[in-house]
Amino acid sequence: MKTQRHLSKVNLLLALAALVCFSHIASAQRPININKVILGTEYVNGEAKGGYAGSIFSPTDKVIYCAAGISNPSPDAKYRFVWFSYDPAQRAEKQIFEQELTNQTDKNVVSKLSSPHGLPIGGYRVEVWVDGRRRAQSRFRIMKETN
C-alpha cells in the first residue's frame, strides 16, 4: 500500500514537472509579431505622434520615431530597424541608418532617425526585423510645407 501511494506521488510530481517544462517550451516558441508600426516626430506615453497622418513630415523635423507594437515580446529577441532614403539620381534606395536593439520587454520597440539639420525632401522607408526576418515596413515622405 505504501509503495503504491509513493508511486502515485512520484507520478504526480513527474506530471507536474512535465507540465511546467512544456509550458516554458510553448511560451518560448510563440512567434513575435509586429501588430503596428507608427511613425511620428515625438514619442510620448508609448505612442509616436506628430507629422501628417503618420507618413508625411517636414524638412524642419529633426527626429522621426518608429514605434513597432510587439505581440509576445521576448528579452531574447533581436530587433533591427533599417532606414532607407530614395536617391532620385541613382533611382534606387540607399540605407542611411541601422539600429539593433536587444533585451526589449515592452510592448513597443522604438527607433529614431535624427539629423541636426532636418531631413532632405524625398521618400523614405523603415524596415523592422525580428530575429533576422523582416516583419514590417513603413514608407514616409519629407515634403516642403505649403502655406
Q: Is residue 147 part of a domain?
A: no
CB 41, CB 63: distance < 8 Å: yes
Residue 136 lies in a domain: yes
The answer to whether residue 8 is domain-embedded is yes
Are residues 1 and 36 both part of a single domain?
A: no
- 46 shares a domain with 72: yes
Residues 60, 80 share a domain: yes
DSSP string, 57-93: E-TT--EEEEEEEEES--TT-EEEEEEEEEETTTTEE
The answer to whether residues 84 and 102 belong to one domain is: yes
The tally of domains found in the chain comes to 2
Give mean pLDDT, residues 94-118: 95
Q: What domain range is 86 assigned to?
A: 31-142
Residue 44 shares a structural domain with residue 95: yes
Residue 55 dihedral angles phi and psi, to the nearest 5°: -140, -5
Work out the pLDDT band at 31, boundaries 50, 70, 90.
confident
pLDDT in tens, 41-90: 999 988 899 999 889 999 999 999 999 999 999 999 999 999 999 988 88
Statement to judge: residues 62 and 75 lie in one domain: yes
7 and 52, same domain (yes or no): no
118 plus 50 within the same structural domain: yes
CATH label of the domain that carries residue 63: 2.60.40.1930
Q: Are residues 24 and 47 in the same domain?
A: no
Grid cell 536593439 is found at 101
Q: State the Cα–Cα distance between residues 13 and 124, nearest whole angstrom.
A: 57
According to the model, what pLDDT value does residue 5 have?
A: 58
